[in-house]
Structure 1
Amino acid sequence: MKKTFLYILISTFMFSSMEIALKSVQGVFSPIQLNLVRFFIGGLILLPIVLKNGKQPLMTKKWKSIGVFLLTGFLCVVVSMTLYQLAIMYDEASTVAVVFSCNPVFALLFAFFILKEKISRLGFISLVISIVGLIIIVNPENLTNPLGLTLALGSALTFGLYGIVSRWGSSVTGMNGLATTCYTFLAGAIELLILVLISNINQVALLMDKLEWLKSFAKTPILHNVSLQYFWILLFICVFVTGGGFAFYFLAMERAGVSIASIVFFIKPGLAPILAMIIIGDKIAINTWIGIVVILIGSVITFIGSQLEQKNAELEE
């Protein structure tokens, strides 16, 4: 059990430092470029662990698996994480961290509408409390620049959707969570690379320049500033945060189950803003502190609910 909690501790720290690490290289790398590099390398870091397992062949149900990974890769890497990167550009790292940590709550809604899973009483209470926490953080009366918050919400929503689609995909491919995540990262990175290459075609770049909302994506670089000067921060983002964070998360899940491993996302809303304040000097307003506490309460309720559901399922078996 000590090893399990060590995995959780490492994963929690990695995930909680994610926004800080990405914020620290803002302006050095294009958001899309950094997304591409970190998920490609992150996927490569996870690949040896997956292959070592021996029970997760690269192409189980070949064509169905390819389709699943293209879909999950698009939702996770191309859409959700691109919105996430952009959110960090326009808002405080601490705010983005808290809003993104609400993705399990959004996953409850998608599970209800897509998988027809019932929302338990505790799940519904958690959902309401988390929404209240978000409203407190947003403070609509004083909201002057909603772009960053909108992007963060979009990232959390689509990541919640990715989680549900990924669960469905695991049943189709027969692969565990770590293998599904690994191939999702690699497929998403390949899709993103194709889009980046298209953005570098002169005719396409000229067209994108004419459209204000696409202008910043024209001629997205691939290896610009990927050098020894930024070696350590790239190593931390790609290997430790992206590859290592997910690896330790799924190792904890395999040893202790989903409910225990999910402690990671319940601690992150409280830890990430504090790290952001200490390391990069993020200012945290009083309403943000209150919202963090409220969201943490909602997360604890979700955790309690998941444990009760797991116990009930074990009793039924």
Structure 2
Amino acid sequence: MARKIFLSYLYLIIAIFLWATIEIAMKSIQDNTSPILINFLRFFIGGISLLVYRISTRKSQSLIYLIKTFPKSYIIASFFGLTLGMTLFAYGTSMTESYLAAAIISSNPLMISTYMILFKGEKRSLNKIFGIILGFFGMIMIITEFKFKDFLQMENLLGNILVFIGTALWCIDLVIGKILLEKAKENEEIAKVTSLDFNIVTFLTSSIFMIPFLFFPGEFSTLLNHTWDTWLILLYLGIFATGISYFLFFKGISKMEASKGINIVYLKPIFATILSFIIFDTNPSIFFYIGCAIEILALIIISYEKIDGKS
């Protein structure tokens, strides 16, 4: 049991680290491509790479079963969570600072925990609620250093709003995926379905939904004129930051309560800040160290549960 929990957290931490690179990667190519193309290629490349792996395992029956049995689930998750949510997020990121976008999307544990409590009846506890709020506070400290006026500056405001709406919609995909995987544990027939199957179907379905956007003026010509370095970053976003990271995220969260596992996302700003130190040679402030300590404390509090009156 302890080994399974350790592996779950390991999968989640790797996934969050890969997610922490997304805003930096997107910002690095935003002058050479468009938010629409970034979003389409992320999920198309991610979906195809996972599909090739699934076919190589010769276990595609579960994929077919999911497509036939749960069209409502994956269509809603694909359309609202990935097509609308991530497209708005991509546009918002291009219109604001990357650290502000990272701060907003890292608040998704609050959204997901609220979704799960309201619509799934997941149990709530004082530890869990306090840990979620504390983790959010630590994340805001790391990203903003309490310079909240940056969020409200007119040049960033519209982008921040789009990132927030996109994040709220993206959480729909995560919640539906979590609920579907919980059903897989309870039903022998549904147990054939894995997080890999869910990600393949939602990624490729969202890519289909995004095809009409490619006919917007200039989009297709931009696609044909991508440079090799832009394609390398797009391949990274698709295979690693999308395909592999989502697979690991759902694999990890499937073995624990969503409101516990999802709070690992609070580590994202820590990873993002460390990456900025390495890439941009920036120096950490005192807020970074205090925020890291708060994040770790929050995760410990959230993970703490009383069993038969004992900790």
Tell me if the contact between 2:199 and 2:247 (Cα under 8 Å) persists in the aligned partners: no
Equivalent residue number for residue 191 of structure 1: 209
Structure-2 residue corresponding to 1:144: 153
Residue 60 of structure 1 aligns to a residue whose secondary structure is helix
* Identical residues among aligned pairs (%): 24
AA at the equivalent of 2:15:
S
User: What's the counterpart of residue 298 of structure 2?
Assistant: 301
**1:47 matched to 2:51:** yes
Kindly tell me: are residues 299 and 124 of structure 1, through their superposed partners in 2, closer, same or farther at Cα, counting changes over 3 Å? Answer: farther
Pick one of 59, 66, 72 that aligns with 2:64: 59
In the alignment, the residues of structure 2 paired with residue 155 and residue 283 of structure 1 have an alpha-carbon distance, to the nearest angstrom, of 31
Instruction: Return closer, same or farther for 1:141/1:28 CA change in 2, 3 Å cut-off.
Output: closer
| Counterpart contact for 1:122–1:301, Cα < 8 Å | no
Residue-by-residue CA offset, 1:7-58 (whole Å, 9 max, x unaligned): 5664343222121111100121110111001101101111234342727522
Structure 1 counterpart of 2:225, one-letter code: N
Cα RMSD (Å): 3.7
- CA positional deviation for 1:188: 0.8
* Secondary structure in 2 matching 1:223: helix
1:53–1:281 distance in 2 versus 1, CA, 3 Å: farther
Q: Which residue of 1 aligns with 2:116?
A: 111
- TM-score, length-scaled by structure 2: 0.75
> Is 2:173 aligned against 1:168?
no
- Cα distance, 1:282–1:76 mapped onto 2, change above 3 Å: farther
Q: Offset at 1:117?
A: 2.7
CA 61–247 in structure 1, closer or farther in 2 if over 3 Å, else same? closer
Deviation of 1:81 after TM superposition, in Å, equals 1.1
Counterpart-to-counterpart distance in 2, 1:111 and 1:100: 18
- TM-aligned CA distance change 1:150 to 1:25, over 3 Å: same
The answer (yes or no) to whether the contact 2:264–2:299 under 8 Å persists in 1 is: no
Q: Deviations over 1:141-194 (max 9, x none)?
A: 55313223222222322222322222334438652222212211111111111x
Task: Report how far residue 272 of structure 1 moved.
Answer: 0.6
Could you give the per-residue CA deviations for residues 116-145 of structure 1, whole angstroms, max 9, x where no partner exists?
333221222134335545776375555313
- Aligned partners of 1:131 and 1:253: how far apart in 2? 19
Distance 1:296 1:8 in 2: 19
Q: Is the 8 A contact 1:253 1:261 kept in 2?
A: yes
1:24–1:39 CA distance, 2 compared to 1 (3 A)? same
Q: Is the 1:7–1:252 Cα contact (8 Å) retained in structure 2?
A: yes
CA contact (8 A) 1:98 1:272 kept: no
2:199 maps to which residue?
181
Instruction: Look up the SS of the partner of 2:219 in the other structure.
Output: coil
Tell me which residue corresponds to 1:124: 129
1:1-317 mapped onto 2 (5 Å cutoff): 4=7, 10-51=14-55, 52=57, 54=59, 57-60=62-65, 62-130=67-135, 132=137, 137=144, 139-141=147-149, 143-145=152-154, 146-170=157-181, 171=183, 174=191, 175-193=193-211, 195-197=212-214, 199-200=215-216, 218=217, 220-221=219-220, 223-250=223-250, 265-280=265-280, 290=287, 294=291, 297=294, 300-302=297-299, 304-306=301-303, 308=305
Check conservation: 1:105, 1:130, Cα contact below 8 A: no
TM-score of the aligned structures, taking structure 1 as reference length: 0.74
**Matches of 1:99 and 1:278, distance apart in 2:** 22
Identify which range, 238-247 or 60-69, moves more after superposition. 60-69
Structure 1: gaps (5+ residues): 201-217
Q: Which range moves more in the overlay, 99-108 or 174-183?
A: 174-183
Cα distance between partner residues in 2 of 1:148 and 1:269:
18
> Residues of 1 paired with 2:98 and 2:178: CA distance?
29
Indicate conservation of the 8 Å contact 1:72/1:184, yes or no: yes
Distance 2:61 2:265 in 1: 26
CA deviations 1:221-270 (Å, max 9, x no partner) are: 3733345353322222222222222334455567x767897575242121
Q: Is the 8 A contact 1:73 1:185 kept in 2?
A: yes
Pairs aligned (count): 289
Is the contact between residue 130 and residue 298 of structure 1 (CA under 8 Å) also seen in structure 2?
A: yes
